[in-house]
Amino acid sequence: MEFTELADYPVPVGALTEWLLCAQSDWVDDPRPASYVHEAHLRRTAKSGSRESWLGTAFEIPGALDADAFRSALEKWTDRHEVLRSHTTLDAETELVRRYTVPRGGLHVGVVSHGYDAAGGDNFAHLQQLFDEYASPHSWPSYVFATLEIVERDRFIVFFAADHSIIDGYSIVLVAHELSALYEESVSGRTVDLFPVGSYIDFGHEEREASTDPEAERKALDLWRSTLEESGPPEFPLDIGPRTQLPQQNLSAWILDADQAAAFNRACSEAEVGFFPGLLACLGLAGVEVAGQQRFRTITPVHTRRAPQWTSALGWFVSLSPIDFEVRSSDFGAVAREADASLSRTKPVSVVPFDRIGNELGTPARPRFVVSYMDVRFVPESGSWPQRNARALRSRQYTHDVYAWINRTPQGVNLAVRYPGNDIASANVHTWVAALRRHLDQVSTSYLPVGFGSISQS
């Protein structure tokens, strides 16, 4: 599944409808605290003016839209995920976070129809405005749905966006399957069996109550202190130009097809590492090629879905971990093992929430260079994403940083990058991506471990 901005999704002509959730039951004071990352997001966006920070998805459902069935599917889905029925507020005077929650069955779906847009451009502009306005961390609902009926092609498109505070990248790739299944249940009357899920609200409470091993916390503090203060936050290996007020640019590319990904995986196995360390090795080798940097440093998200009830739950189940390794060789296997060792050293610190670390160090710094990896081949119905024109979406950003998302799907490996909106960053990011592709291609087509095939002589 590609990960792009809405502007890169082909929004066709058709009849656009908004589906807006409304509370029909009373809001109840809820003592459960926000997760660390959710609270930090609330405070950060309150200070920065709450610019767009949403994630979303778009996907097609075959057949004519059954409005009653779709409304029923949305109500079932919001009953399934408690975070969609809960709202956190940040008091401007006391700076205290409070939560209010509506019980199951307490939401109703309102409908606003915009009719048929023969040109198509108005639909895109309206969706962009709708997502930017509704998917906000400081309002409820902090998410919104829309459908676009394509009558002549007997299908409709579902659009969904939610503020990052209640959803992460893995949650997004689950939406198409769950909503489609609940819609089919409502149309056909046949019960579907979705995996049971826990509540992200409970996760936040448990995260606050959990006791952290003092030794693990000390190691985490030492590691992040070194990463953020002594060495400085990891930076993109090439110049990204001057800071501007322009929105970031982005690119999306399929850097390996399914067969190439399988070949690359075999090379990783020969090197005795996993797929992600192999990718990191190629990133490190690309950094040497384009910038002469023989040390690769970045920050990577690490999921916190450590119990079965969180596997399919909607929420922001993410911490962060630094990656730092030397690129001492041009041999892929040797570099990949260095990357793997770095992951092994640093991944355990993710048990301590990154935002708690920032508070402890007094350094609430935002990452400047992030590389994310997800293997989503086994997400239900992922094999049908191309036929359903399914895509993950993200809001526009205005920050001065570089984020790269690498997703392994049944179709291959997709790379999405966002970077500052200037010509220097654009040229250098494309140079970096080209170098990465060369190293991936070399490994997937011709890698042999050092000494492989040699004949020993006595």
| Whether residues 165 and 226 fall in one domain | no
| Whether residues 186 and 310 fall in one domain | no
| Whether residues 220 and 196 fall in one domain | no
| Whether residues 227 and 190 fall in one domain | no
Q: Are strands 54-62 and 391-394 parallel, antiparallel or unpaired?
A: antiparallel
Q: In the prediction, which pLDDT does 216 show?
A: 81
| Whether residues 304 and 358 fall in one domain | yes
Establish if 454 belongs to a structural domain: no
Are 404 and 243 in contact by the 8 Å Cβ rule? The answer is no
| Whether residues 432 and 285 fall in one domain | yes
Establish if 455 belongs to a structural domain: no
**Dihedral over Cα of 422, 423, 424, 429: its sign:** positive
Are 78 and 85 in contact by the 8 Å Cβ rule? The answer is yes
Place of tokens 């969180």: 310
139: left (phi over 0), alpha (psi -120 to 50) or beta: beta
Q: Answer yes or no: pTM beyond 0.85.
A: yes
Establish if 457 belongs to a structural domain: no
What domain range is 163 assigned to? 3-203
Where among 203, 223, 251 does a domain terminate?
203
Q: In the prediction, which pLDDT does 217 show?
A: 84
Establish if 173 belongs to a structural domain: yes
The rounded distance, in Å, linking the Cα atoms of 300 and 305 is 16
Where among 203, 225, 251 does a domain terminate?
203
Q: What is the CATH number of the domain that holds 174?
A: 3.30.559.10
Place of tokens 């306005």: 133
Neighbours of 185 (CB within 10 A): 18
| Whether residues 311 and 413 fall in one domain | yes
The rounded distance, in Å, linking the Cα atoms of 448 and 296 is 23
Q: In the prediction, which pLDDT does 425 show?
A: 98
Q: In the prediction, which pLDDT does 450 show?
A: 61
| Whether residues 405 and 297 fall in one domain | yes
Are 366 and 398 in contact by the 8 Å Cβ rule? The answer is no
| Whether residues 272 and 313 fall in one domain | yes
Q: Are strands 391-394 and 3-5 parallel, antiparallel or unpaired?
A: parallel
- Name the 3-class secondary structure at 407: strand
Residues 6+ apart with CB under 8 A from 15: 113, 114, 115, 116, 117, 148, 149, 151
Q: In the prediction, which pLDDT does 167 show?
A: 97
Where among 143, 176, 203 does a domain terminate?
203
Establish if 401 belongs to a structural domain: yes
Q: In the prediction, which pLDDT does 448 show?
A: 67
Q: What is the CATH number of the domain that holds 299?
A: 3.30.559.30
| Whether residues 356 and 283 fall in one domain | yes
| Whether residues 218 and 326 fall in one domain | yes
Q: In the prediction, which pLDDT does 201 show?
A: 98
Establish if 452 belongs to a structural domain: no
Domain count, the chain: 2
Indicate the length of the chain as a whole number: 458
Establish if 307 belongs to a structural domain: yes
Place of tokens 């448990």: 206
Intervals of the chain under pLDDT 50: 453-458
Q: Is omega for the bond preceding 353 within 30 degrees of 0, making it cis?
A: no
Q: In the prediction, which pLDDT does 270 show?
A: 94
| Whether residues 155 and 177 fall in one domain | yes
Q: In the prediction, which pLDDT does 94 show?
A: 87
The rounded distance, in Å, linking the Cα atoms of 170 and 312 is 9
